[in-house]
Structure 1
């Protein structure tokens, strides 16, 4: 696997899109390195709200990601989960969408399924993305030409039989919405051969892109830092991502339904069953 300390070296004549892709990966690697240094150490855990936690590692990793972005694109908007970053993706102009530690609950429980995610966006649409999962040894990236795991091209799988499929109920439902979580689980196990819950959307989405899962569903409105990078990877890997109505997903959609493509109708039906 690619070492997380490695950053791409750019020739002087790269395009803007290529530069953004390189900065996306470099910033994600830098943030992941900071987070990984704190992983499985004795650090205080703070509560941001019900069922939501944060650590100083989240904040330090986000500051590092932003610093790397600002070195090359000092005027761009930054959308992020922690501190004073913007919380909405602008429909016009350049922006960066970052999650310093996606899967913080896993992180604080010393479970390896977490990652640092960065996406470059132009006029509301991603043009590059990276998720670095250092505890797993994986670096997922996507640009305008394709999607990659550890530098090698990745593609969604071609499973078309629901009983061969495994689907993840992603994001998290509040305690007063646990009936919807139960519905999501039931909808999956009724339709597919297996269910996985990895607990980190920005690791789940690249896993779909790499063919390890056939789909992932939620009826919730995903925060952009939990979704934009991974959605772009799935699309660049040949998969399908829609909202709950089956329309093309975007950063402000309600629901997120991602699949390998051949199983999308079944995955969408499972997502729609959550609120029935």
Structure 2
């Protein structure tokens, strides 16, 4: 089996994101967009499927020995126990995408022995891309910046050390309600400075940029969080389940600037 460096894998992930952006942006706000309802009652568009097919085809050529897990076409074998596994969410925020809301993006991650080590979150409608690999920091490219400043910027989480001064994104009221944890959300809301539901991968990227201090949500799959974990961690933050455990397969997530993590887990006491 060929050995690859993390730099090799990150470069491939960024190339995959380029391909995804071209496909998804072409279908964004398209009048002939095809929308279906999956068995779990969530929507899927022709763009979701096309992006995942293209990424899978490229991975089959570039990394034929690796396992792939994607939202639309599933996984191969014992996905959670694979040595090298690419985890793909072709369009995170499909509901936004089909309504024409620009907060959505493609999530691409490489997980090695159960640990996400490469993550790319690309949001072409916001003209932003975030990425990280273990030990190499977290980065963002903002194409809306002045033309003289189209350079990647290293990301760093905030230094807010008191929950009373924290800005929190809880993703959705409904998600906390469905999970039976509205009391915990109410405690959090009454303790912190500010709460907003930014939603989707964007909330976590705002955290990595130092603009939000805590993000928590329920009803998640591995493809929702795998790419986000290394970006938040490499920006200096903490990323666990809401109870403080491993977040990849937990079904929920808590990301913070690190300084607030233990206090937030304790306050939620799920």
Q: TM-score range by the shorter chain?
A: 0.7 to 0.9
Tell me the alpha carbon deviations over residues 204-225 of structure 1, each in whole angstroms, 9 at most, x when there is no partner: 22221111211111354x3111
- Aligned residues between the structures: 256
Q: Measure, in 1, the Cα distance between the counterparts of 2:214 and 2:208.
A: 9
Deviation at 1:74, TM superposition (A): 1.6
Tell me the alpha carbon deviations over residues 184-230 of structure 1, each in whole angstroms, 9 at most, x when there is no partner: 54233212111221231x2222221111211111354x311100110
Corresponding residue of 1:91: 81
The farther-off stretch of 61-70 and 139-148 is 61-70
Corresponding residue of 2:146: none
Q: Measure, in 2, the Cα distance between the counterparts of 1:31 and 1:45.
A: 18
* RMSD value, Cα: 2.5
Task: Decide which of 220, 223, 229 is 2:221's aligned counterpart.
Answer: 223
Q: Measure, in 1, the Cα distance between the counterparts of 2:78 and 2:128.
A: 28
Gaps of 5+ in 2: 142-151
**TM-score for the superposition, normalised by structure 2:** 0.85
> Equivalent residue of 2:211, what SS?
coil
Deviation at 1:89, TM superposition (A): 3.8
Which runs of structure 2 are paired with 1:26-65 in the superposition (5 Å)? Answer: 26-42=15-31, 43-49=33-39, 51-65=41-55
Q: Measure, in 1, the Cα distance between the counterparts of 2:70 and 2:113.
A: 17
Corresponding residue of 1:245: 243
* Distance change in 2, residues 1:143/1:180 (3 Å): same
Corresponding residue of 1:197: 197
Tell me the alpha carbon deviations over residues 143-184 of structure 1, each in whole angstroms, 9 at most, x when there is no partner: 121110112210111111323212122378569x54736445
Q: Measure, in 1, the Cα distance between the counterparts of 2:175 and 2:19.
A: 32
Task: Decide which of 250, 261, 266 is 1:264's aligned counterpart.
Answer: 261
Deviation at 1:250, TM superposition (A): 3.9
Paired residues of 2:28 and 2:97 also in contact (CA < 8 A):
yes
Task: Decide which of 9, 22, 25 is 1:20's aligned counterpart.
Answer: 9
Runs of 4+ in 1 over 6 A off after TM superposition: none
Paired residues of 1:79 and 1:87 also in contact (CA < 8 A):
no
Paired residues of 1:131 and 1:139 also in contact (CA < 8 A):
yes
Paired residues of 1:126 and 1:232 also in contact (CA < 8 A):
yes
